[in-house]
Structure formats: C-alpha cells, structure tokens
Amino acid sequence: MSKPMEASVVQPTPERTRHDPVVISDKQIADSSGNIGSPFRVLGIIPMLYERKAIKDHHVLAAFGYMDDFDTAKLEPLHAAPFEIRGKGKEEFSNHVMRAKESIWKARKALCLGTAVERAAWAILGMRWNFKEWVDREGGIFSEQTAKRLLIAALTELADHYRFKEKKAS
C-alpha cells in the first residue's frame, strides 16, 4: 500500500508532481539500472478512482484490459515495434499485436466511435493522459469532473464488452 508523503522525506521534483498524485511507496523501487531508486510513484487515475470508491472491481478489470490491449497493439505513437524479432517469433508477435488491435477496435465500436465516451477511453486509458490534459486537448469543452464521468461511463461499457460482471453483495 502507499502512503501520502511526509514532510521529513525529500520531496519529488516539481516535474513529477505536475501529473497525477505522487505518493511514497512502502516498497523500494528499482531505478532503470536496477539500483535502489526513489520511492516515489505516481498514483494512476484508475487506482485513484478505485480508492475513492468512484469505480468498482469490474471497472478496474475493464480498464486494465483496455490498457493492456492498447499497449500490446502498439497504438501509443511514441513507441516503436522491436526490430530484432525473426522467424516464427515474428509471426507470433505479429498475430498477438493484430489480436490486440482487433480487440481495441471492437472496444471502440462498443463505446460508439467518435463519441466523447470513446475519446475519453482512448485518451485517458490508452494514451494515459490525466483529466486536465485530455480536457485541454479537447479544447476545454468539458470540465475535469465531466471528463471523470465520461471515463466512468466508458468503464461501465468496457466492463460489459470484456464480460466482467459486477460482484453482487451476498
């Protein structure tokens, strides 16, 4: 679990705090070289909404399903496909990517292509933009609160699409 930052701890850089909330992890985090790194991590939108009880378990599963498909399909424009895959591995990699792209296409159709709900899923879940960044890129036509509601609506539809059911209280 994570805890809010304490005053006695060296604070993260201003650049890190411009995004989603920054928390101290209770576990040590390795840096890119494998050394003990700074214990700060950004609390993503989905865990934050879940902690605030704005979304439920099936919404979280749907969000991570969409995010995994988006990442596998290599739809983020700054990421390039690996060049060193040859032989049978290349074909398997290609099929895996194509299945993920097909899954994203079906999810986008389930959200109704071009709607604000579908664009919210693409931007916030897929591109990992925060609410403010997406609202700004949309020209400010929504408030951040409306963006949050659109994302929750998208998560509800994605939960149906990925066939995640809400657990009923017994």
What is the tens place of the pLDDT at every residue in 34-88?
676 666 666 789 988 998 999 999 999 999 999 999 988 888 765 555 555 555 5
Run of H or E residues at 41: strand 40-42
What is the average pLDDT value for the chain, to the nearest integer?
A: 81
d(C-alpha 24, C-alpha 4), whole Å: 6
Q: Provide mean pLDDT across the span 148-161.
A: 95
Run of H or E residues at 31: none
Extents of the domains making up the chain: 1-43, 53-161
Q: Provide mean pLDDT across the span 149-160.
A: 96
The CB density around residue 134, as the number of other CB atoms within 10 Å, is: 20
Q: Provide mean pLDDT across the span 129-151.
A: 93
Percent residues over pLDDT 90 in the chain: 47
pLDDT at 167: 73
What single DSSP character describes residue 121? Answer: I
CA-wise closest residue to 107 among 158, 147, 150, 68: 158
pTM for the model stands at 0.72
pLDDT at 59: 95
d(C-alpha 127, C-alpha 120), whole Å: 10
What is the tens place of the pLDDT at every residue in 97-109?
889 999 999 999 9
8 vs 71, more confident? 71
Contacts of 21 (CB under 8 A, 6+ apart): 42, 43, 48
pLDDT at 97: 84
Alpha helices, DSSP H, located in the chain: 14-17, 45-51, 57-72, 88-110, 116-120, 131-137, 144-161
Q: How sure is the predictor about 94, in pLDDT bands with cuts at 50, 70 and 90?
A: confident
Percent residues over pLDDT 70 in the chain: 65
pLDDT at 7: 53
Could you please report the per-residue DSSP string of 84-95?
A: ---THHHHHHHH
Whether 95 has a pLDDT exceeding 90, the answer reads no
